[in-house]
């Protein structure tokens, strides 16, 4: 039996293939197990969808008021059972996560969070991108949740859906949360986004950083605008994200860069990763993280058709590799980890310790291993 390894497939000289610069997916995201709920597609095919009795968050979503429609996108408001979720049982570099929105208009083809729309009996493909739910703001409730969290534990906004996606211009839920953070003292906060809209809140972020640890990370996927437009259709183009990084750096916020996900044979070459890291360093980034591709079954239904259309020669190998697992394991992960570490050292970029759990002994937390160690811990909390 011949065992195929991505580590052999990632070198362009072995395939006569020239990888192009690419793409992120935030490895800081929580990696959860697939939830065995009824299939939305099956209900649509059998005509059951209109007659099914909805409960829980699905009922709340169905009854939510339509606040605004933009082109093909609908914005609704959703009652929040909670705002802050714990990364229970995960060896992730932070303990707590906040996602102000359900669904994401940025529409990344690889987004792991698509499955969360199934909890609301909505399609994780088109509905995830066009039916956006803003969590109803309750400052008293938010402050109450925040009070019980120990001050040394890290809280990160934007681990699943982007906190500065277009809906933020309308609802400003992220900004309202940051205004609460401004009154806090001696806390550890993080924020992750692909959007240059973050520059709107530069002064607010500076005020937070005066009395807290505040780490801002921009996920910049590639220096190739065509690829970025293809795989992240509604994200700001790379040039705008690098400009935002510069504004954050000029404000003294010491921003970081995330290159994730790394897609085998597409953007995982030395040249691809180096190009993004070099531009980020020039824009003022001080840290770099990267993450491997994670494909839940729900996400494959969107990602594989994109792959078929854009990289048909790779489609069979991707399907083979992800048939047995949602994660990339083994030698490939170690190869990419070493590659990222070398590039980080080349540009004097760190993996910012402000994002690590309190008491973590290793400032170079191996995020590649962390992805492979995911457990069920926060699965139920994501439904809130």
Q: Note the pLDDT of residue 366.
A: 37
Transcribe 181-243 into DSSP letters.
HHT--S-EEEEEES-GGGGGGHHHHHHHHHHSEEEEEEE---S-HHHHHHHSTTSPPHHHHHH
Q: What sign does the CA torsion over 269, 8, 307, 366 have?
A: negative
The CATH number, out of the four listed (3.40.50.2000, 3.80.30.30, 3.40.630.30, 3.40.50.150), of the domain defined by the range 6-383: 3.80.30.30
> What is d(CA 368, CA 351) in angstroms, rounded to the nearest whole number?
13
Nearest-angstrom CA–CA distance, 149 and 171: 26
Neighbours of 70 (CB within 10 A): 13
* Alpha helices, H only, 255-377: 270-282, 297-310, 312-322, 331-346, 367-372
What are the average pLDDT values for consecutive 10-residue runs of the chain, which has 384 residues?
42 30 34 34 41 50 53 90 82 84 96 92 94 97 97 95 97 98 97 98 98 96 92 96 98 96 92 97 96 94 98 96 89 93 97 55 35 33 41
- Residues 63 and 362: beta-carbon distance below 8 Å: no
Give, as one character, the DSSP assignment of residue 353: G
Asked, as a colleague might, if the bond just before 119 is cis with ω within 30 of 0, I would say no
Q: How many CA atoms lie within 13 A of 283 on its CB side?
A: 26
Q: What is the pTM of this model?
A: 0.77
Q: Which residue matches tokens 């399609």?
A: 123
Query: Which positions ≥6 away from 247 have C-beta within 8 Å?
Result: 199, 202
* Matching residue, tokens 């205004």: 179
Of the CA atoms within 13 Å of residue 237, those in its CB half-sphere come to 4
Q: What angle do CA 366, 369, 370 make, to 5 degrees?
A: 85
Bridge partners of 68, per DSSP, are 75
For residue 254, the model assigns a pLDDT of 95
Structure tokens at 37: 């709920």
CB 361 within 8 A of CB 97: no
The pLDDT of residue 92 is 64
317 token code pair? 């190998």
How high is the pLDDT of residue 364? 30
Listed by start position, the domains of the chain span 6-383
């Amino acid at each position: 039996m011949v065992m195929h390894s991505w580590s052999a497939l990632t070198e362009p000289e072995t395939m006569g293939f020239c990888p192009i610069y690419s793409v992120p997916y935030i490895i800081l995201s929580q990696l959860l197990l697939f939830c065995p709920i009824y299939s939305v597609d099956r209900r649509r095919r059998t005509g059951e969808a209109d007659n099914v009795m909805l409960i829980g968050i699905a009922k709340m979503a169905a009854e939510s008021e339509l606040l605004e429609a933009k082109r093909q996108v609908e914005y609704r408001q959703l009652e929040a059972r909670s705002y802050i979720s714990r990364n229970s049982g995960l060896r992730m570099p932070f303990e707590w996560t906040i996602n102000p929105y359900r669904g994401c208009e940025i529409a990344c083809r690889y987004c792991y969070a698509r499955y969360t729309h199934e909890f609301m009996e909505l399609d994780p493909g088109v509905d995830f991108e066009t039916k956006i739910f803003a969590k109803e703001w309750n400052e008293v409730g938010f402050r109450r949740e925040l009070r019980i969290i120990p001050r040394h534990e890290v809280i990160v906004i934007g681990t699943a859906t982007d906190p500065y996606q277009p809906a933020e211009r309308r609802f400003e839920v992220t900004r309202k949360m940051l205004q609460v953070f401004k009154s806090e003292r001696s806390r550890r906060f993080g924020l992750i986004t692909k959007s240059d809209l973050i520059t709107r809140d530069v002064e607010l972020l500076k005020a937070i950083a005066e009395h807290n640890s505040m780490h801002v990370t921009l996920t910049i996927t590639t220096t190739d605008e065509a690829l970025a437009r293809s795989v992240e259709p509604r994200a700001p183009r790379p040039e705008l994200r690098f400009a935002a990084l510069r504004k954050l750096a000029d404000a003294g916020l010491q921003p970081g860069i995330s290159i994730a996900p790394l897609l085998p044979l597409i953007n995982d070459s030395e040249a691809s990763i180096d190009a993004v890291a070099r531009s980020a360093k020039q824009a003022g980034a001080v840290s770099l993280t990267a993450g491997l591709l994670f494909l839940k079954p729900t996400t494959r239904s969107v990602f594989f058709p994109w792959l078929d259309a854009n990289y048909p020669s790779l489609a069979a190998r991707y399907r083979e590799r992800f048939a047995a697992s949602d994660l990339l394991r083994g030698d490939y992960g170690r190869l990419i980890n070493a590659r990222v570490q070398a590039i980080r050292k080349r540009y004097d970029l760190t993996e910012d310790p402000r994002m690590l759990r309190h008491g973590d002994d290793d400032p170079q937390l191996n995020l590649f291993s962390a992805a492979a160690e995911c457990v069920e811990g926060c699965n139920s909390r994501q439904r809130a």
